[in-house]
Structure 1
Amino acid sequence: MLLSGCITYTVVSAAASVAGLAVDATVGTVKIVGKGVGKAADALLDDDEDEHSDDQSSD
């Protein structure tokens, strides 16, 4: 009966490890996507600021 408990613990432990790795992968992906979105937003905002400064300098 003790062996059954060890096998159950091993299976649960392995499943928890896989779930932890999946969460780590998801968090890593979100961070990468977030950096890309941030860079795109910065580029758009920089373009908008350049257009506004060009409009003001031509007055």
Structure 2
Amino acid sequence: MSRYHPLHGIPRPRAEQVNAPIRRLMSQPATRRRTVAYEQLLVERAEATRDDVETAA
């Protein structure tokens, strides 16, 4: 998998770079702010771990 987003050329985060903040976040009390931050980190992790996908015509 390329380290760069195929359409935007933006570097993708590595899974390890996202896992550490997720672990730190989960040690915090459950709040709405934590939930929002967790959702954002999950999107980043999905981006870091998914294979390149070709857009269908």
TM interval, short-chain normalised: 0.3 to 0.5
Identify the structure with bigger relative contact order (alpha carbons < 8 Å, sequence gap 6+): 2
The TM-score, its normalising length taken from structure 1, stands at 0.35
If the length of structure 2 is used for normalisation, what is the TM-score?
0.36
Structure label with greater radius of gyration: 1
